[in-house]
Amino acid sequence: MQNVLAYFSQNGTEFVQMVATHLWLSAVALALATVIAVPLGILGARFRRLDSVSEGVWGTLRIIPSLALLLVLIPVLGTGTLPAVVSLTVLAIPPILINTTTAFKTLPADVLEAAEGMGMPPARELLTVKLPLALPVAFAGFRTATSEVIASAMLAAYIGAGGLGDLIFTGLGLMRTDLLWIGGLSVAALSLAVGALLSLAEARMRRRAGMVAA
């Protein structure tokens, strides 16, 4: 315990820096994954063949452990931030993709028939009807992806991308349990805190989408 307090008093700035790097890596990967997975998911809901292909591809990629993917990427992308972001993006895509497809496949048929029957132009229907109604379910996928990415971003330190993983690997190298504790618990706390925030946001979206009857 004393060690822990001593660590924070001596390395406070360094710790904050690591948390920031950790969150930054996760955020970039999640943003990229969202940009790729949401359009793919929307198209997948419309075209069944694309859906089964992309499900196969991403499903397979998902099975590969993140650490293995990181190591595989070293010869291609080198070390540092880029391969870390790429492998975290790969990790984040499947849950977002699957939930987006599900959300768009399960949109209420009567609502879509009404929108079409009123002559709503397709782009407007997508933006003002389909997206808002699909959002809560798609967002639940984003929430899953976020907790996976924050946990896995620890491994990024292994290839020199920084983040809270640095603490873990230093702790392992120096046999310092206090560093392992600090690193492990910080990642867990970060993941829980972000998860809780996203759950709140999701609940609010569900209310907005009118899915909770008054």
Partner 1 sequence: MPCEVEFEDVTKRFPGAARPALDHVSLKVEAGEFVTVLGTSGCGKTTMIKCVNRLVEPDSGTIRVEGEDVSAADPARLRQHIGYVIQKVGLFPHMTVGENVATVPRVLKWDKERIQARVDELLALVNLDPKEFAGRYPSQLSGGQQQRVGLARALAADPSLLLMDEPFGAIDAINREALQDELLRIHQGSRKTILFVTHDINEALKLGTRVLVMDAGRVQQFDTPKEICEHPATDFVRSLLRSGEFRLRSAYVEPGEGI
Q: Which residues of the chain form contacts with partner 1 (CB under 8 A)?
A: 108, 110-121, 124, 129, 132-133, 208-214
Instruction: For the CB of residue 102, give the shortest distance to partner 1 in the complex, in Å.
Output: 18
Residue number with CB closer to partner 1 (121 or 173): 121
- Within the chain, residue ranges assigned H as helices are 2-46, 48-63, 66-77, 81-105, 109-117, 122-125, 131-152, 165-174, 177-208
Instruction: For the CB of residue 149, give the shortest distance to partner 1 in the complex, in Å.
Output: 28
Residue number with CB closer to partner 1 (131 or 180): 131
Residue number with CB closer to partner 1 (102 or 170): 102
CA distance 20 to 166: 13
Task: For residue 9, count CB atoms less than 10 angstroms from its CB and return exposed for 0-12, middle for 13-18, buried for 19 or more.
Answer: exposed
For 43-53, letters b (16+ CB in 10 Å) and e give ebbeeeeebee
Instruction: For the CB of residue 115, give the shortest distance to partner 1 in the complex, in Å.
Output: 8
Instruction: For the CB of residue 5, give the shortest distance to partner 1 in the complex, in Å.
Output: 50
Residue number with CB closer to partner 1 (78 or 122): 122
CA distance 81 to 68: 16
Counted residue by residue, the chain has a size of 214
Residue number with CB closer to partner 1 (22 or 130): 130
Instruction: For the CB of residue 121, give the shortest distance to partner 1 in the complex, in Å.
Output: 5
Report residue 92 as tokens: 């984040």
Instruction: For the CB of residue 208, give the shortest distance to partner 1 in the complex, in Å.
Output: 6
Residue number with CB closer to partner 1 (23 or 112): 112
The dihedral sign for the CA sequence 70, 27, 191, 144: negative
CA distance 143 to 106: 19
